[in-house]
């Protein structure tokens, strides 16, 4: 009995010191480190804005308080940045990124051979902004409604093949019968915005509601932009009258595809570190992410920049990413057909 009690006491003592020792180990690793936050777009736009906002605040909540420096790495609708994080960046927790919202779908369906990352292996920290995606046109476009988009060709600017900006207009064409001409190849969303303003294209496909409110709030506030369709799990309360994909009358097969894409939008603006990071560092980074989003200084800066933060924790985000990638083959096959742009619907910016 004395031996058992002594063993129990020793175990309790060991547990009591284990957590501080682990924390000290993580702090010792990050102390003095120069971390990088890889940004999938050029400067400007909501991916860049949100990434830089988080980079300015997360460091002080990471044990050891490392510096976090943003680094833009645009291209391929976010594929170049994702491949870098998956296959080149050190697997030690010193590199973070905000992954393109459309890439889980891209991987699940095998849409783009250039995507070499397995997003299931990423260590997800959380989602900064869960907001509906909008297909929208500039106020000068003759297309005024979703029904108009079914009767006339409407040019829609987009980035790369791995992005929602291509996926959702193609989905709309294939499932809803719209006639969007998808112009592919803009370096970032801000370049599409400029093209809309200059009349080079009629609309943008796509950007989130919170993304517009953060980077170009005047677009919606002054009715310069006209949303035709919103995609997400629930309608944005500030967009009355804009049809929600999930609410449209669809066949059973199309309903399955629409529900899948609505869940895909819930991925939002997801933040991750590389695969292979030790579990104690991942836990520390996840806690730092949560603390940063609750930091009064972060909230104050986000409010001043019109950045609406709608967080999702790491566990929920990880589950959604896996559910999308590991969906039944029958579902993925149906969605893949729905997302494949017809040759006549897609135009290259260089042409």
Question: Helix/strand/coil (H, E, C) string of 145-197?
Answer: CCCHHHCCCEEEECCCCCCHHHHHHHHHHHHHCCCEEEEECCCCHHHHHHHHH
Q: Kindly state whether residue 104 falls inside one of the protein's structural domains.
A: yes
Check whether residue 313 and residue 337 sit in a common domain. no
Q: What is the pLDDT of residue 316?
A: 95
CA quadruple 208, 301, 99, 104: dihedral, nearest 10: -40
pLDDT exceeds 60 at position 9: no
DSSP structure class, residue 65 = -
Q: What is the pTM of this model?
A: 0.81
Cα–chain-centroid distance for residue 216?
18
Regarding whether 344 and 218 lie in a shared domain, the answer is yes
Q: Does residue 7 sit within a domain?
A: no
Q: Can you give the residue range of the structural domain that contains 228?
A: 133-265+331-348
260 and 228 in a common domain = yes
Q: Are residues 161 and 125 in the same domain?
A: no
Q: Is residue 9 domain-resident?
A: no
For residue 201, is it within any domain? yes
Average pLDDT over residues 108-133: 95
Do the domain assignments include residue 103?
yes
Q: 148 and 247: one domain? A: yes
pLDDT digits (tens, 9 = 90+) for 68-81: 999 999 988 899 99
| Per-residue pLDDT tens over the stretch 40-69 | 999 988 899 999 999 999 999 999 999 999
Q: How much is the pLDDT for 350?
A: 62
Element (H, E) at 90: none
Query: Domain check: are 245 and 276 in the same one?
Result: no
Same domain, residue pair 137 and 126: no
Answer yes or no: do 101 and 140 share one domain: no
- Tell me, yes or no, whether 68 and 194 share the same domain: no
Q: Are residues 307 and 197 in the same domain?
A: no
Indicate if 122 and 40 belong to the same structural domain. Answer: yes
Angle between helices 45-58 and 189-197 (to 10 degrees): 140
If pLDDT is split at 50, 70 and 90, which confidence band does 14 have?
very low
98 touches 69 (CB < 8 A): no
- 158 domain residue, yes or no: yes
* Average pLDDT score, the chain: 91
- CATH code of residue 314: 3.40.190.150
Please report whether residue 301 resides in a domain. Answer: yes
Q: Is residue 15 part of a domain?
A: no
Domain count, the chain: 2
- Digit-coded pLDDT (tens) for 242-272: 999 999 999 998 999 999 999 999 999 999 9
| Number of alpha helices (DSSP H) and beta strands (DSSP E) in the chain | 13, 12
Domain CATH code at residue 166: 3.40.190.10
**DSSP-derived pairing of the beta strands 133-138 and 95-98:** unpaired
pLDDT range class, residue 187, cuts 50, 70, 90: confident
> pLDDT tier at 326 (50, 70, 90 boundaries)?
very high
What proportions of the chain, in percent to the nearest 5, are helix, strand and coil?
50, 15, 35
Same domain (yes/no): 47, 118? yes
């Amino acid at each position: 009995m004395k031996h058992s009690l002594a063993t129990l006491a020793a175990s309790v003592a060991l547990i009591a010191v284990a957590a501080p020792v682990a924390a000290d180990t993580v702090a010792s690793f990050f102390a003095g480190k120069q971390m990088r936050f890889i940004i999938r777009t050029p400067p400007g736009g909501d991916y860049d804005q949100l990434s830089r906002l988080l980079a300015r605040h997360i460091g002080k909540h990471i044990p050891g308080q490392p510096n976090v420096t943003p680094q833009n790495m645009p291209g391929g609708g976010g594929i170049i940045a994702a491949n870098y994080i998956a296959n080149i960046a050190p697997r030690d927790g010193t590199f973070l990124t905000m992954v393109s919202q459309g890439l889980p779908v891209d991987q699940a369906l095998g849409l783009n051979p250039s995507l070499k990352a397995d997003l299931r292996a990423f260590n997800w920290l959380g989602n900064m902004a869960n907001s509906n995606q909008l297909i929208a046109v500039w106020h000068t476009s003759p297309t005024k409604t979703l029904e108009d988009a079914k009767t006339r060709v409407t040019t829609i600017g987009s980035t790369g093949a791995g992005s929602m900006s291509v996926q959702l207009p193609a989905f709309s064409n294939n499932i809803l019968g719209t006639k969007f001409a998808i112009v592919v190849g803009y370096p970032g969303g801000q370049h599409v915005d400029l093209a809309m303003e200059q009349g080079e294209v009629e609309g943008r496909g796509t950007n989130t509601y919170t993304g517009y409110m953060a980077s170009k709030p005047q677009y919606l506030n002054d009715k310069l932009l006209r949303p035709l369709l919103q995609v997400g799990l629930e309608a944005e309360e500030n967009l009355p009258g804009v049809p929600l994909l999930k609410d449209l009358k669809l066949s059973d097969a199309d309903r399955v595809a629409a529900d899948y894409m609505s869940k895909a939008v819930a991925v939002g603006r997801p933040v991750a570190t590389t695969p292979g990071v030790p579990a104690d560092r991942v836990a520390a980074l996840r806690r730092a992410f949560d603390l940063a989003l609750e930091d009064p200084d972060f909230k104050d800066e986000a409010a001043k920049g019109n950045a609406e933060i709608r967080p999702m924790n790491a566990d929920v985000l990880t589950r959604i990413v896996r559910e999308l990638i590991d969906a039944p083959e029958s579902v993925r096959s149906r969605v893949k057909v729905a997302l494949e742009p017809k040759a006549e619907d897609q135009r290259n910016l260089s042409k």
